Amino acid sequence: MMRSKIAILGVLLLCNLGVFAQVLRKRTVTLMGSRFDITIVDKDSISAEANIDAVIAEVSRIEDLISDWRSYTQVSKVNQNAGITPVKVDKEVFELTERAIRLSELTGGAFDISFAAMDRIWKFDGSMTSMPSPEAIKKSVAKVGYKNIILNKKESTIFLKLKGMKIGFGALGEGYAADKCKAMMMAKGVPAGIINGSGDMNTWGKRPDGSNWNIGITDPKDTDRFFAIIPLDSGAVVTSGSYEKFVTFNGKRYAHIINPKTGYPATGLSSVTVFGPGAELANGLSTSIMVLGKQAGLRLLKRFPGMSAILVDDHGRYTSSPGLDISKYLVAQ
């Protein structure tokens, strides 16, 4: 899934707060196959850099558990044994899978971690000249289906019933990593920061000058500008967007985010931004809402207290969920 360009605005390197001083340090690295921007506010540069190192180590640890393209990980072992035998995994991997399946159930399959087995028949690089046939689309999702994932809590095993099935956490894993690293930093007493895994972002505390972090949301109609800037002092924000990768056939726009139940691309929405306590859930919901569409997506969101969203349709019209007054944050054109 392509995440939209969520930007952190107004980053300061050093600011005095009365008699106290805090420094802000930021590092950009490649982890989980994606860009991670790690921002830490701490008492001094040495401590801040050490904490960035700790975040990188934690994300790398998680990647070595759940990556589906590294052959030695627990998730890869589950995939290699699809249709053969259950695989014992760590409690952490089991519980992450358990939560993903629960989200799959709540979304009616609009979200599905077995999407990793989907045939990549849709091309969004400009090479497609016609839609795939209905038969090819149906075949592309033949091995997708969370109901064929068998969990044994007592034994801590995962079994994929069908040969050729695969699970993959993708961007959900990046959100999980962001949440874990934030919790780790807060437990260490780090006053503020942002863990941003390719758009799966979780924040805490305030900037060194005492102000909130300002989060800019990209305008799907003009990706060089933000259509809204929202202050955030604690919590996660994730945007799923389709405005850079899509195809159009017979005047209808098809997003690169695929409905794992049907094999057809999502239509109707170009951007969904979800706010809440954690990036893992925000990621799962943003993807699901893109697939479900505006009305069904907003109904889904009602089942998750503490979560809110901004939806932008293919015509550039925006809608925000109850409790989020987007009009207060719009950027004048």
Tens-digit pLDDT profile for residues 118-154: 988 998 888 888 899 999 999 999 999 999 999 999 9
The pLDDT of residue 11 is above 90: no
Which CATH class for the 7-65+182-328 domain?
alpha beta
Give this prediction's pTM.
Answer: 0.91
Please report, for residues 109, 209, 219, the alpha-carbon distance to residue 332 in angstroms, rounded to integers and kept in the order given. Answer: 38, 25, 12
Beta sheet of 318-320, edge-to-edge order: 14-17, 20-31, 34-42, 192-197, 200-204, 235-241, 269-276, 308-313, 318-320
Which pLDDT score is estimated for 246?
82
Cα 119 to its chain centre, rounded Å, is 21
State the CATH architecture for 74-170: Orthogonal Bundle (1.10)
Residue 141 backbone zone (phi > 0: left; psi -120 to 50: alpha; other: beta): alpha
Q: What share of the chain is helix, strand, coil (3-state, %, to 5)?
A: 30, 30, 40
Q: Which residues of 155-178 are buried (b: 16+ CB within 10 A; e: fewer)?
A: ebbbbbebeebbbbbbbbbbbbbb
User: Is residue 9 very low, low, confident or very high in pLDDT (cuts 50, 70, 90)?
Assistant: low
Please report, for residues 175, 201, 240, 243, 282, the alpha-carbon distance to residue 172 in angstroms, rounded to integers and kept in the order given. Answer: 5, 11, 12, 20, 9
The pLDDT of residue 214 is above 50: yes
Q: Using an 8 Å Cβ cutoff, are 8 and 215 in contact?
A: yes
User: Is residue 254 very low, low, confident or very high in pLDDT (cuts 50, 70, 90)?
Assistant: confident
Which pLDDT score is estimated for 244?
74
User: Is residue 255 very low, low, confident or very high in pLDDT (cuts 50, 70, 90)?
Assistant: confident
Which pLDDT score is estimated for 129?
85
The domain limits of the chain are: 7-65+182-328, 74-170
The pLDDT of residue 14 is above 70: no
With tokens 């990980």, the residue in question is 73
pLDDT mean over 327-333? 86
Average pLDDT, the chain: 91
Considering only the C-alpha atoms of the chain, give the largest distance between any 2 of them, rounded to a whole number of Å: 69
User: Is residue 275 very low, low, confident or very high in pLDDT (cuts 50, 70, 90)?
Assistant: very high
The pLDDT of residue 15 is above 80: no
Domains 7-65+182-328 and 74-170 share a fold: no
- Integer-rounded Cα Rg, in Å, for the chain is 20
More confident residue, 252 or 143: 143
Tens-digit pLDDT profile for residues 81-127: 999 999 999 999 999 999 999 999 999 999 999 999 998 899 888 88
